[in-house]
């Protein structure tokens, strides 16, 4: 059993009005934890709160994670309401249709402010007090497979999630160096999950998409095993294919292939052979 996942402890989840964040909050609540649901959508937050069988240990707060002062206020509110925080899940994120890498600088900045800096702001606001109370705890940062293999078409999203990967690796390493530290960092890497963020672009759930419930099932199992990289499957992409894609991407650097050679016409046959081998 994950040591921090127990009655009376507290979890704070951003991006918690729907999708993966809301499902994670439900699991933590079912284990007896107090949960703080944070999101920018006040109406969706209130609807989410009504879905909990027992709302006495559920607190909702509107919070823009791109604003460090707002995230610091969230930390203070959570502690004042429930005491020490034992799990921080930095899950808030946005997706937009891709543009060319030299276009729409404002959209690029907002993507980084929410997807990457929202994670950084959460860690800065919560980790010092989580270290101070000295009890077991977890930092769970939501990344994306697009931050690992970086497919063309949405460079800003890829960059934001690649940043979450690199930042969370640094957090995990730094926590290991803290004497007596009982906090662990985890990188949640969902597959293709049909959430409200995706349904804005795709009205009907594709059969290959995973659900938030399936994703959180997998996350809870891997947290119990202590995994750092929680690379989730979906109904199209098994672990074996993820590994092939990740290996090919790493080999672009080692073998000095063209950037993103997986999508380069000269390497189409070689890539197909590699994943089928």
User: Annotated active-site positions, please?
Assistant: 157
Chain centroid to CA 45: 18
- What are the two backbone dihedrals, phi and then psi, of residue 244, each rounded to the nearest 5 degrees? -65, -45
Q: What does R_g of the chain's alpha carbons equal in angstroms?
A: 19
How far apart are the C-alpha atoms of 189 and 167, rounded to whole Å?
A: 14
Burial 238-254 (b: 16+ CB within 10 A, else e): eeeebeebeebbeebee
- Mapping DSSP to helix (H, G, I), strand (E, B) and coil, where does residue 83 land? coil
DSSP per position, 186-243: EEEE--SB--HHHHTT-SS--TTPBPHHHHHHHHHHHHHHT-SEEE---SS--HHHHH
Query: 214 to each of 148, 157, 233, how far by Cα in Å?
Result: 21, 23, 9
Q: What share of the chain is helix, strand, coil (3-state, %, to 5)?
A: 50, 15, 35
């Amino acid at each position: 059993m994950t040591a921090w996942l127990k009655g009376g402890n507290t979890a704070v989840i951003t991006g918690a009005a729907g999708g993966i964040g809301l499902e994670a909050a439900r699991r933590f609540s079912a284990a007896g934890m107090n949960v703080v649901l944070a999101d920018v959508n006040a109406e969706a937050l209130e609807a989410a709160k009504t879905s909990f069988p027992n709302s006495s240990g559920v607190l909702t707060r509107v919070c823009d994670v791109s604003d460090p002062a707002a995230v610091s206020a969230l930390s203070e509110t959570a502690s004042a309401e429930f005491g020490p925080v034992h799990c921080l899940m930095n899950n808030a994120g946005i997706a937009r249709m891709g543009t060319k890498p030299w276009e729409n600088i404002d959209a690029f900045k907002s993507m980084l402010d929410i997807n990457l800096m929202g994670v950084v702001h959460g860690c800065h606001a919560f980790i010092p007090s989580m270290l101070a109370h000295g009890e077991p705890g977890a930092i769970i940062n939501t990344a994306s497979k697009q931050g690992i293999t970086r497919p063309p078409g949405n460079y800003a999203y890829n960059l934001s999630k690649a940043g979450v990967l690199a930042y969370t690796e640094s957090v995990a390493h730094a926590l290991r160096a803290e004497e007596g530290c009982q906090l662990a960092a985890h990188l949640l890497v969902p597959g293709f999950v049909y959430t409200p963020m995706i349904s804005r672009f795709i009205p009907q759930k594709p059969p290959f998409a995973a659900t938030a419930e399936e994703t959180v099932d997998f996350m809870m199992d891997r947290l119990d095993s202590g995994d750092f990289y929680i690379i989730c499957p979906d109904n199209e992409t098994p672990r074996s294919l993820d590994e092939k894609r990740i290996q090919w991407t790493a080999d672009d650097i080692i073998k000095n292939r063209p950037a993103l050679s997986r999508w380069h016409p000269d390497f189409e046959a070689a890539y197909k052979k590699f994943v089928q081998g």
